[in-house]
């Protein structure tokens, strides 16, 4: 039986929107250590449970006038945006791979990358709850393609190990953390999922786009928050008026102790607060569409 492509695309788009709706829950709950299964979604404003008919991707947002049915609290644009994004990515994958096992496998990881991206932007972390099972599932999926498990295993080791070495080198030279362990595990995941062949492309595209966005943000005067320390904990986060005891711990008076000359240390460019995870995720998704073309261009054009 031949399914009409328009029918398949509609069904896949709806499925993508529903997955996006679920990812909104993941993005909100996983960093907070909450269950993603229960309880059902509730309004952050009034706590009222959201009924299924108010939880239809994108449409509910529009029908309800962008507000909660009960307390009229505005609903964040983030929710329909993520739903539309995932639906759009699903359609792109269908266009690229057709109805195939490639579509199914790649969609799982693209969806995980969407969650990773927004969690990293919000919290500057890439949760182990996503990256570690991701590595295992990615390697397991490699057996769907004959012989691909070798590429996957090498990708896992080189991706994770290479970035780990880079991160160590950076902290040796600069004396501070350049990339987090979250990025290391994420690149191991990408290597296991796409094979070691993706790594050059991913690192190149992630770096270039990261630098471009950093420059654009710096030029447009957006304040970059410094990265959070490794042992940062949600519980001891809110400290707007830190007790003076904590200040004596800061080395060499970072907190304006030597503020007499009024010189404030500018945010070091490469250590700027832009999380790298979203750029790794973006580059991996681009690899699905541009990877073959890019390597062909390298072989023939150079
Ligand atoms: Zn409400």
Q: What is the DSSP string of 246-285?
A: HHTTSGGGTTTTTGGG---PPPPSTT-S--SHHHHHHHHH
Query: Can you give the residue range of the structural domain that contains 141?
Result: 134-228+268-302
* Residue 70 CB partners (closer than 8 Å, separation 6+): 43, 46, 48
Asked if residue 144 and residue 5 are part of one domain, the reply reads: no
21 C-alpha to ligand 1 centroid (Å) = 17
What is the Å distance from ligand 1's center to 42 Cα?
8
For residue 187, is it within any domain?
A: yes
Residues with CB under 5 A from ligand 1 (ion): 43, 45-46, 68, 70-71, 73
Looking at residue 226, what is its pLDDT? 53
The reply to whether 283 and 207 lie within a common domain is yes
Same domain, 54 and 179: no
**Are the CB atoms for 200 and 130 separated by under 8 Å?**
no
Is 253 inside a domain boundary?
no
Distance 233 CA to ligand 1 centre (A): 29
Which residue, 54, 77, 99, sits at the end of a domain? Answer: 99
Which one of 53, 75, 99 terminates a domain?
A: 99
Q: What is the pLDDT of residue 177?
A: 67
Q: Which two tokens stand for residue 165?
A: 């070495």
* 236 part of a folded domain: no
Question: Which pLDDT score, from 0 to 100, does residue 50 have?
Answer: 85
**192 and 282 housed in the same domain:** yes
- Same domain membership, residue 142 and residue 87: no
233-266 confidence digits (pLDDT tens)? 444 444 444 333 433 443 443 443 343 444 444 4
Q: What is the Å distance from ligand 1's center to 67 Cα?
A: 8
Same domain, 165 and 89: no
Domain match, 60 and 139 both: no
Q: Within 10 A of 14 (CB to CB), how many other CB atoms are there?
A: 14
- Evaluate whether residue 69 is within a structural domain: yes
What residue ranges of the chain have pLDDT lower than 70?
1, 177-178, 223-273, 302
Residue 172 lies in a domain: yes
Q: Determine the pLDDT at residue 168.
A: 85
Q: How many domains does the chain have?
A: 2
Residues 95, 138 share a domain: no
73, HSE (Cβ side, Cα atoms, 13 Å): 12
Alpha-carbon gap, residue 58 to 77, rounded angstroms: 10
Same domain, 173 and 90: no
144 and 85 part of one domain: no
Give me the pLDDT at residue 52, please: 80
Same domain, 82 and 24: yes
Considering the domain architecture, whether residues 95 and 220 belong to the same structural domain is answered as: no
> What is the reported pLDDT for 108?
97
Euclidean distance between CA atoms 278 and 111, whole angstroms = 13
d(CA 63, CA 269): 44
235 C-alpha to ligand 1 centroid (Å): 26
CA triplet 108, 186, 212: central angle to 5 degrees? 105
């Amino acid at each position: 039986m031949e399914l009409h492509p328009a029918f398949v695309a509609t069904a896949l788009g709806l499925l993508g929107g529903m997955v996006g709706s679920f990812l909104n829950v993941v993005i909100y709950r996983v960093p907070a250590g909450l269950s993603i299964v229960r309880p059902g979604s509730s309004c952050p404003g009034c706590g009222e449970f959201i009924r299924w008919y108010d939880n239809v991707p994108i449409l509910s947002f529009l029908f309800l006038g962008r507000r909660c049915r009960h307390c009229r609290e505005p609903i964040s644009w983030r929710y329909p945006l993520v739903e539309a994004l995932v639906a759009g990515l699903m359609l792109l994958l269908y266009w690229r791979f057709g109805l195939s096992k490639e579509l199914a496998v790649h969609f799982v990881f693209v969806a995980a990358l969407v969650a990773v991206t927004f969690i990293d932007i919000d919290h500057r972390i890439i949760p182990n709850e996503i990256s570690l099972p991701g590595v295992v599932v990615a390697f397991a999926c490699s057996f769907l393609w004959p012989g691909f498990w070798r590429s996957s295993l090498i990708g896992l080791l080189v991706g994770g190990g290479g970035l780990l070495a880079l991160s160590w080198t950076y902290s040796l030279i600069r004396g501070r953390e350049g990339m987090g362990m979250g990025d290391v595990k994420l690149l191991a995941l990408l290597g296991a999922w796409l094979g070691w062949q993706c790594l050059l492309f991913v690192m190149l595209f992630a770096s270039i786009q990261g630098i471009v966005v950093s420059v654009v943000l710096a030029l447009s005067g957006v304040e970059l928050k410094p990265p959070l320390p490794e042992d940062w904990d949600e519980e001891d986060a809110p400290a707007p008026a830190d007790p003076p005891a904590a200040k004596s711990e800061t080395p060499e008076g970072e907190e304006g102790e030597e503020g007499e000359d009024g010189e404030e240390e500018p945010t070091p460019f490469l250590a700027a607060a832009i999380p790298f995870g979203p750029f790794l995720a973006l580059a991996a998704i681009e690899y699905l569409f541009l990877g073959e073309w890019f390597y062909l261009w390298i072989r023939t054009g150079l």
